[in-house]
Amino acid sequence: MKYKVGLITLFLVFSITVVYAGPLENSAYDNSSVKEKGKVVNTVCPVMGGKVAADTKYKVEYQGQTIGFCCPACIAAFNEDPEKYVEKINQ
């Protein structure tokens, strides 16, 4: 019985921590170069081709331009080889 109560308590504490902690600041897709200033110059994600909202929170500042993305995974891909995707933005 004590074992079950302990597991339930542990589960509840973990669940509450996850819910109230919010997103991880140092996640694998965290990008310290994300800028809040600047309007995104693209409406299509240069990595996956998805739509990019004008107010997207997924953006980076690159060569004086604010480039928007459809998701944080695309930011990671862009950061690995930006030149591969810059051409798509300029088209």
DSSP, residue by residue, 1-59: -HHHHHHHHHHHHHHHHHHHH-S-TT-TT--TT--SSS-BS-SB-TTT--B--TT-S-E
pLDDT of res. 9: 57
Q: Please report whether residue 2 resides in a domain.
A: no
pLDDT confidence of residue 88: 82
Residue 54 in tokens: 């004008």
In-domain check, residue 7: no
- Residue 21: inside a domain, yes or no? no
Tell me the whole-structure pTM to 2 decimals. Answer: 0.58
pLDDT at residue 32, rounded to an integer? 44
Per-residue model confidence (pLDDT) at position 31: 47
Within-domain flag for 39: yes
Note whether residue 74 is domain-resident.
Answer: yes
14, part of any domain: no
Residue found by looking up tokens 């695309």 in the block:
74
Nearest to 47 by CA among 14, 4, 76, 90: 76
pLDDT in single tens digits along all 91 residues of the chain: 665 655 565 555 555 544 444 444 434 444 444 444 579 999 999 999 999 999 999 999 999 999 999 999 999 999 999 999 988 887 6
